[in-house]
Homo-oligomer: A and B are copies of this chain.
Amino acid sequence: MWQVQVKTPLTITTPKGFQASGIHVGLKRKRKDLGLIWCEVGASAAAVYTTNQVQAAPITVTKQAIQASQGRIHAVLVNSGNANACTGELGLSHAYMSQQAMAKSLNVAPEQVAIASTGIIGQPLAIDTLLAGIPQLMPTNDKDAADDFAHAILTTDTGTKTAGQQYMQGDVQISVCGVAKGSGMIHPNMATMLGFLTTDATIEPDVLQTVLRRTIHRTFNCITVDGDSSTNDMVMILASGAAGGATIVEGTDEALAFEQAIETVCQDLAKQIARDGEGATKLIEVTVAGTQTDEVARMIAKQVVGSSLVKTAIFGEDANWGRIIAAVGSIKEPLDVSNVDIKIGSQWVLQQSMPVLFDEAVASQELAKQDVHIHIDLHDGVGQGHAYGCDLTYDYVKINASYRT
């Protein structure tokens, strides 16, 4: 007889030491809008923030917290419905009030609480509503609690985004799990995207920061929905050390395994975000090879996946390689474009920079799928890279023409 193995979904409460909660307090009309991740033992923390020069109050407060606590964080409080951005001194004071209230309720120091917000920009946070909700956050480590948190951080997302990975460090099982939100305004360099990773690995904050930054460069920063970048984006990782493994040191096999797990989780979340771009019907994956450097390959991949003309062509299920090659040629870095091959789905459509005959019926069939893969080879080096995005649709226009009012 076979033994039936029930695979438990991996959530942010899977790694030992983490609890979560997600509730509705009234910042949104009906849906959950306030969430908490709680690590009683305290976690090493690292974070990467939006590159937008206009940064929301919670970004400022969380940066300060991580600095002041020397990367030791107990809790992350997240609200959706209001971004608390462009809200001036009042917004900053609201952000501190949230942090302090949460810290008091959990009996930790304010600088051990990170905060994040997402939602509408430039309207004062309904601080009384938020503060009234804080005592109702009752973190537990069951998977429903993780699911509640995943819901509480959503805005125009059509569903929650979670991912997880487990591996053995010697005889200790390490879990790395994550949850994210992000729909419109998704672009390289952390745009209206929130991501929270938990792990029970043991690692110092500075090493964790290095690993996170490297991983995000290869994952979250390779997605684009509409080219805009936001005021509130943040990806944070908390490492509880509760699995009981040895401390992970840079440059070791253990560090490599850990980084690979983080990359897998981030990649998974990034693809979920790209697929859930506002109004999107398809995930577009662009891989680029044969460039002088990996960085140039990534630039090309992002340019192609971010091109409005490519995005609308894919929506129209049109194998329009002309727009792809035009996007390739428009990056700032000098390129040799004399020998470019382009493959859409399973078929080469351009070889040596010249169109080749392909089966339009097969192309239409492949472009009708939910996943579209474009591969580009410049045959001019060993650089490679990739980017993810989504198609540009009527619904994108619909959603964004009527978001605020």
B355 touches A86 (CB 8 A): yes
What residue of chain B has the Cβ atom nearest to residue A401's Cβ?
Answer: B316
Please choose the segment from A32-40, A96-104, A164-172, A390-398 that sits at the chain B interface, where 4 or more of its residues have CB less than 8 A away.
A390-398
Known contacts: A228-B327, A330-B228. The answer to whether A397 contacts B405 by CB under 8 A is: no
Known contacts: A54-B328, A86-B354, A330-B52. The answer to whether A400 contacts B308 by CB under 8 A is: yes
B309 touches A184 (CB 8 A): yes
Please choose the segment from A63-71, A174-182, A317-325 that sits at the chain B interface, where 4 or more of its residues have CB less than 8 A away.
A317-325
B83, B123, B329: the one within 8 Å of A231 (CB): B329
A405 touches B227 (CB 8 A): no
Is A286 interfacial (CB 8 A cutoff)? no
B185 touches A401 (CB 8 A): no
Is A152 interfacial (CB 8 A cutoff)? no
B54, B306, B327, B400: the one within 8 Å of A309 (CB): B400
Specify which of A185, A316, A331 lies most central, judged by the most chain B CB atoms within 10 Å of its CB. Answer: A316
B329, B353, B402, B403: the one within 8 Å of A52 (CB): B329
B309 touches A122 (CB 8 A): no
Give the docked Cα–Cα distance between A334 and B52 (Å): 10
Specify which of A85, A184, A323 lies most central, judged by the most chain B CB atoms within 10 Å of its CB. Answer: A323
Is A7 interfacial (CB 8 A cutoff)? no
Is A381 interfacial (CB 8 A cutoff)? no
Cβ distance A277 to chain B, nearest Cβ, rounded Å: 11
A86 touches B330 (CB 8 A): no
A308 touches B52 (CB 8 A): no
Give the docked Cα–Cα distance between A403 and B322 (Å): 11
Is A337 interfacial (CB 8 A cutoff)? yes
Is A140 interfacial (CB 8 A cutoff)? no
B392 touches A397 (CB 8 A): yes
A400 touches B316 (CB 8 A): yes
Cβ distance A247 to chain B, nearest Cβ, rounded Å: 38
Q: Which residues of chain A in 263-295 are interfacial with respect to chain B, using CB atoms and an 8 Å cutoff? A: none
B54, B316, B326: the one within 8 Å of A326 (CB): B54
Is the interface on chain A under 10, 10 to 19, 20 to 34, or 35 or more residues?
35 or more
Is A53 interfacial (CB 8 A cutoff)? yes
What residue of chain B has the Cβ atom nearest to residue A315's Cβ?
Answer: B401
A322 touches B85 (CB 8 A): yes
Which residues of chain B are within 8 angstroms of A231 by Cβ–Cβ distance?
325-326, 329
Give the docked Cα–Cα distance between A312 and B401 (Å): 5
Cβ distance A333 to chain B, nearest Cβ, rounded Å: 9
Known contacts: A86-B354, A329-B52, A392-B397. The answer to whether A309 contacts B226 by CB under 8 A is: yes
Is A230 interfacial (CB 8 A cutoff)? yes
Which residues of A does B touch, CB under 8 Å? 51-55, 83, 85-88, 120-123, 184-185, 226-231, 306-309, 312-313, 315-316, 318, 320-323, 325-331, 334-335, 337, 350, 352-355, 360, 392-394, 396-398, 400-405
Cβ-closest 4 pairs across A and B: A316-B401, A121-B322, A54-B329, A312-B400
New A-B pairs, 20, CB < 8 Å, besides A121-B326, A122-B355, A397-B397: A53-B329, A53-B335, A54-B326, A54-B337, A55-B329, A83-B322, A86-B354, A88-B352, A121-B323, A122-B322, A122-B325, A122-B350, A226-B309, A228-B307, A228-B309, A312-B396, A313-B404, A318-B401, A320-B404, A394-B398
Q: List 22 A-B contacts (CB under 8 A).
A: A52-B330, A53-B331, A54-B325, A54-B326, A54-B329, A83-B322, A86-B325, A87-B354, A121-B323, A121-B326, A228-B326, A231-B329, A308-B308, A308-B396, A312-B396, A312-B397, A313-B403, A316-B400, A316-B405, A318-B402, A318-B404, A320-B403
